[in-house]
Structure 1
Amino acid sequence: MESVTLSLIFGSVLLIIGIYGTVIAWRFYILLDSPADKFALQVMVAFILFGVLGGGAVVGSAFFEGTWWPFIALFTMSGFLILAFSSLHYLRLLYEEFGSKINSREERKHIPVGGFIIESLEGIKTLLKYLSSKSGGLFVISRRPRDEWEEEFGIKPTKYLWLSRVEEKHSVSPSNLHVILEEAVRFMRIRKNSVIYIEGIEYLVLYNDFKSVAKFLFTLKDYATVEKSVLLIFISPGVLEKSHYNILRRELEVLNPEKFLEEIMGTALFGAVAKEEFEKITTEKPLNEKEDREEHASSESSKA
């Protein structure tokens, strides 16, 4: 009788943990991008095996006669192996893609901190190519769909939000400023020394009063300062009322991309040495190192 009671208690606890973990992992699977979404899916499967099926088998052993231990052992071992190997694999991916950049003090010196306005579209393209190779991650918030933005900028962001009232997996309504703020702050806290890039401010003003948009940007700038990250806002001249633009300029510094790059390189940007270094940097694909390695391996095998 005592063993039956223990089976019911332990089985019920496993069931509760399994169901809770499955629901949370499923939510992360919906929110995250690859490869994090795959890891969330594997964690969810592990919770199902560990908690739901394993707990169900323990409870079943209390009510029905028979040998249940092979099923309990199978579900427990399967869940443990999935969780263990998927965790090790994901840790390796994190180190390969972000570990060296996040831990490099030298590269942190090349990342500005705080909030800045950029007025030149070509300038922001050049600056983002450089910063994405030095930062802990790039989070883009844009009015354009992701594939259209990536094609024009030649960069693959770590995270992307499409400002649209269309309900898609990676879209957000322009009226939900609090949602955008939460996503950006979460990104900066997870990925230190990161870059937050926002374009389409005039679109935000259409769905919110300017005062709310200004508060949103100033709050985001403060978080960027605290988290040692940078907020870049592209504002094309003339898209905002002059009085509104002047309010933003009083709080956010206007950054000249070319002068900034000249300063951090220690010489004129278009000098012979600096130009060669800059072209090398801006043609790198820091967020796609896996693809680069596969391409390199493919070329080596074809030569052989």
Structure 2
Amino acid sequence: MQLESFALEKGCTYVIKEKIPNRAYRIFSDAISQGARGLIVTRIYPPKLKSKYEIRDSVIYWLTNVRMDIAIRPKDLEELSFKLEKFILANEGAIIIIDGLEYMITNNDFTTVLKFVQSLRDQVAIKNAILLISINPLTVEPHNLKLLEEEADYVI
């Protein structure tokens, strides 16, 4: 896999609009290869994700209702928020990617998920981390997409 070199600014949130999270994972992999500690929140089954995007040395949480050690239920945003905050505090300058925001929205409501993003954005800024949110713009109402974009430092 050829990595896309992309200069990321620490303490920032990026919304990456794409149908499939390929670009977001290229950016994530590039940051990991440069020494950043990474955490992934995904709808993709982790063994498949690792194979497809050549992911190594990253914490992975799978958004699913299947009970597994690495699974987080999409309705349990409080638990997810706690795990992300703990990771950010322990790994200053870390990079986090979320590619399952649409799934979180369908299992909660948009306002609840937006509040989750707002809180996470603040933690990222405080600890000089980087947050990548990959979202398919066709799956979110335009008004809601605009609200999400307003929470980002950069929209790609």
Taking structure 1 as the reference length, the TM-score comes to 0.46
SS, match of residue 238 in structure 1: helix
Q: Please state which structure has a larger fraction of its residues in strand.
A: 2
Residue 169 of structure 1 aligns with which residue? 69
Q: 2:35, 2:143 → 1: CA distance?
A: 33
Q: Does residue 238 of structure 1 match 2:141?
A: no
**Is 1:208–2:89 an aligned residue pair?**
no
Q: Name the residue aligned to 1:92.
A: none
CA distance in 2, matches of 1:183, 1:137: 14
Give the share of equivalent positions with the same residue, in percent: 21
Aligned match for 1:134, one of 21, 34, 37:
34
Larger proportion of helix? 1
1:91-138 per-residue CA deviation (whole Å, 9 max, x = no partner) reads: xxxxxxxxxxxxxxxxxx965322110124332132112111234311
Where do 1:244-263 residues align within 5 Å? 244-256=144-156
Which residue of 1 is the match for residue 17 of structure 2? 119
Is contact 1:138-1:157 (8 Å) kept? Answer: yes
Matches within 5 A, 1:13-162: 111-120=9-18, 121-162=21-62
Match in the other structure for 1:179:
79
Gaps of 5+ in 2: 1-6
Point out the structure with max Rg over C-alpha: 1
Among candidates 197, 212, 220, match of residue 97 of structure 2: 197
| Contact 2:42 2:100 (8 Å CA) reproduced | yes
Q: Is the 8 A contact 2:36 2:93 kept in 1?
A: yes
Q: CA RMSD in A?
A: 1.6
**How many residues were matched structurally?**
148
Higher RCO, 1 vs 2 (CA within 8 Å, ≥6 residues apart) = 2
Contact 1:163 1:174 in 2 (8 A): yes
Contact 1:135–1:193, Cα closer than 8 Å, also in 2: no
Contact in 1 for aligned 2:137/2:145 (Cα 8 Å): no
Partner of 1:103: none
Whole-Å separation in 1 of the counterparts to 2:142 and 2:116: 19
Unaligned runs of 5+ in 1: 1-108, 257-304
- Of residues 180-189 and 123-132 in structure 1, the stretch that sits farther from structure 2 once superposed is 123-132
**One of 217, 222, 225 as aligned partner of 2:122:** 222
Q: Structure 1 residues 166, 122: CA separation in 2 closer, same or farther (over 3 Å shift)?
A: closer
1:166-216: per-residue Cα shift (whole Å, max 9, x none)?
110110100000111110110011111000110111110111111110000
